[in-house]
Amino acid sequence: MGSVDCNCTIEDRTRMLILSPLLAAGTLNRLMAGKTITCEARDTDRYGRTVGLCRADGDDLGAAMVRLGMAWAFVRFSRVRLEDRARSENLGVHAYPCQPAWRAQQRQ
């Protein structure tokens, strides 16, 4: 998980920065368990890093993580806003009054 802009208590920030990545890793492991994993390069970001699409038995892992609230959708590389339901149900990262750093930077 990347950096966050958080308007929350120290306890919430601690949960967000320490526990959420552990929960996300466990969720990703469960989504991949016993499945065939395939990844393909889709784009390159402005830092030269490869942006890819990974699937578990054909299911988009990134989309699943966003839908479960375990990741934020980076809209530049996403076609669908999958996080709306997770946000409305306060799942995962959406249980805290935080946002990814790139959203805070866009507002400045």
Q: Give the CB-side neighbour count of residue 10, counting CA atoms within 13 A.
A: 0
| C-alpha to C-alpha distance for 101 and 72, rounded to whole angstroms | 11
What is this structure's pTM?
A: 0.72
The full set of domain ranges for the chain reads 4-107
| C-alpha to C-alpha distance for 19 and 38, rounded to whole angstroms | 28
- Does the structure show a pLDDT above 60 at 100? yes
Share of the chain above pLDDT 90, in %: 33
pLDDT score for 87: 83
pLDDT score for 17: 67
Which of the two residues, 13 and 71, has the higher pLDDT score? 71
Q: What is the CATH number of domain 4-107?
A: 2.40.50.90
17: helix, strand or coil: helix
**Location of structure tokens 């890819």:** 52
Each residue of 31-51: pLDDT tens digit? Answer: 999 999 999 999 998 899 998
C-alpha pair distances (Å), 68 with each of 5, 9, 44, 82, 99: 20, 23, 26, 9, 16
Which of the two residues, 103 and 50, has the higher pLDDT score? 50
**Location of structure tokens 């609230």:** 69
